Amino acid sequence: MNQTTPTIRLRDLMDDDVAWGREEAAEVYPRLLRAVQRIPGADIIKISADGIEKTDASFPRETVFAVAKRHRGSTIFYVVGLATESMADNWDMAGDKLEQGIIWWKDRDTYQFLGPAPSESLRELFDLAVKSRDGIGAAEAAKKLKKSISNASTLLKQLVDKGYLARRGINSPSGGVEYRYFGPK
């Protein structure tokens, strides 16, 4: 499933390269929401933080994480280009406060969960979904993790509910709908 992930450059929605406080977030939130709404049907959206020098925790909480929470279950968000580990710490606190997760891709192969951290078994399942070109189904996940299909399905659903995986219904050869789970890449 090779789809191009739409990207929103957050800096383009801001007046300055430093994002601080709820007041600035209140100005950027509707801009970000409109940018997301201009991408109908996208189940994964990349947020680029390139060009942003600093943020506190309240700015990403009231913008990126608030939009992610609003779209939870239908669209997942991930971020690239966070300038520093300190900035990532602020984003992590923002996600924890809203109980909403997003992934920070530090580079092509390294990511970090921002927001509520999933358990070790959920991380393992997340890795399987991200590494799979065509996503992963509950039966595949169950086989690879040596769990029951219902258990794997429940765990995959938890990752969707936390905002870390997207779920797509795909027509199955048997005539029904099979759900495939995809992570941000």
Are 9 and 88 contained in the same domain?
yes
Summary mean pLDDT of the chain: 90
Domain end point (choices 117, 133, 155): 117
The tokens describing 63, both together, are: 């913008």
Residue 45 shares a structural domain with residue 113: yes
What are 57-102's pLDDT values in tens digits? 999 999 999 999 999 888 999 999 999 999 999 999 999 999 999 9
Q: Report the distance separating Cα 152 and Cα 167, nearest Å.
A: 14
Q: Which residues have C-beta within 8 Å of that of residue 170, sequence separation ≥ 6?
A: 177, 178, 179, 180
Asked if residue 169 and residue 154 are part of one domain, the reply reads yes
> Would you state the pLDDT for residue 33?
96
Let me know whether 54 and 10 are in one domain.
yes
Cβ-contact 172, 141 below 8 angstroms: no
Domain coverage including residue 99: 1-117
Please indicate, yes or no, whether residues 124 and 180 belong to a single structural domain of this protein: yes
Q: How many domains, the chain?
A: 2
- Count of alpha carbons within 13 angstroms of residue 169, beta-carbon side: 5
The confidence score (pLDDT) of residue 37 equals: 95
Residues 76 and 30 in one domain: yes
Question: Which pLDDT tens digit goes with each residue over 159-184?
Answer: 988 888 988 888 777 778 888 898 88
pTM (predicted TM-score): 0.88
Residues 36 and 94 in one domain: yes
Model confidence at 117, in pLDDT bands (50, 70, 90)? confident
Do 67 and 89 fall within a single domain?
A: yes
Q: Give the 3-state secondary structure of residue 25.
A: helix
